[in-house]
Amino acid sequence: MANKFVSIEYDDWTKKRKTEMKKSLCILNGHRSFFLNFTYITIPDETYLGLELGFFAVDFKFGLNKSTIQVIINDSESFDLAVLTSTNTLEEVAAYSMTQEELKKICEAKTISLVIKGEGAEKQVDNNEIIRYAQVFYNGAFDEKAYIEEVEAEEAKEAEVKAMEEAKEAEVKAMKEAEEKRINKIILTLFLAFTLVTIVFIILQIIFGGAYFVGSALSGTVAFIFLMALTLFR
């Protein structure tokens, strides 16, 4: 049974089985970003294992349609991956064929670098997260007994991230509720202040007549402002 990070699609008509990671790995982030995924496809009498690389930039084309990737393992061993297919729209995406042995080398590596050579650009990406990513994929695609500790570590990491997101959501919700209560309190205070001003004005009118209209209005206004200030700056 595949782990939770791997997606498996099966076509009953063609007998095609496609295994890939559910989420691509961002290996270089910024205004020019690279994303990586692994794909394993089996059809009767045919198999394909590949690395899929995506590049996104608003102001630049890397040229993945005519690219190669040099995979450097532990700063001492390397192998090259040549592009098979590519698309070139807003996001450039290219697929590179590789062997299971080459994938295994990535899984067993201590350090890894990818030297991506496009049609008009070259970039070296040093990112050891690729190793864990490859291990989790290998477990889901080839051997569910391999790299179990790495899969469990990834599950723990995902659970921690989820807990942090839920805590953040709860904090935002609590702040929103507190702000709503504050606004409701201001509205209620303003209503009570207005009611008080109205009552005072009516009483003064009854007792003293219209001569005190200005004075009562002024005192009511002062009381209104005072109560509003108390509410806003508590």
Domain-located, residue 157? no
Count of structural domains, the chain: 2
Question: Do 116 and 204 share a domain, yes or no?
Answer: no
**Percent over 90 (pLDDT), the chain:** 55
* Domain hosting residue 170, numbered range: 166-232
The predicted-structure confidence for 31-61, as pLDDT tens digits, reads as follows 889 999 999 999 988 899 999 999 998 888 8
Question: Do 30 and 105 share a domain, yes or no?
Answer: yes
Any idea what the CATH number is for the domain that residue 55 is in?
2.60.40
Question: Do 130 and 196 share a domain, yes or no?
Answer: no
What span, in angstroms and rounded, lies between the C-alpha atoms of 98 and 79? 10
Question: Do 208 and 138 share a domain, yes or no?
Answer: no
Q: What is the largest CA-CA distance in the chain?
A: 105
The predicted-structure confidence for 68-87, as pLDDT tens digits, reads as follows 999 999 999 999 999 999 98
Question: Do 125 and 178 share a domain, yes or no?
Answer: no
Task: List the structure tokens of 228.
Answer: 């509003």
The predicted-structure confidence for 146-197, as pLDDT tens digits, reads as follows 999 999 999 888 887 777 777 788 788 878 887 888 887 877 777 677 677 7
Domain-located, residue 161? no
31 vs 208, residue with greater confidence = 31
Contacts of 142 (CB under 8 A, 6+ apart): 40, 100
Domain-located, residue 153? no
Question: Do 184 and 135 share a domain, yes or no?
Answer: no
Q: Are 92 and 86 in contact (CB under 8 A)?
A: yes
To the nearest 10°, report the CA torsion of 172, 175, 176, 177: 120
Give the sign of the dihedral formed by CA 155, CA 161, CA 164, CA 165: negative
230 vs 212, residue with greater confidence = 230
Question: Do 142 and 171 share a domain, yes or no?
Answer: no
Minimal CA–CA distance to 33: which of 106, 78, 86, 92? Answer: 92
Domain-located, residue 226? yes
Contacts of 190 (CB under 8 A, 6+ apart): 224, 227, 228, 231
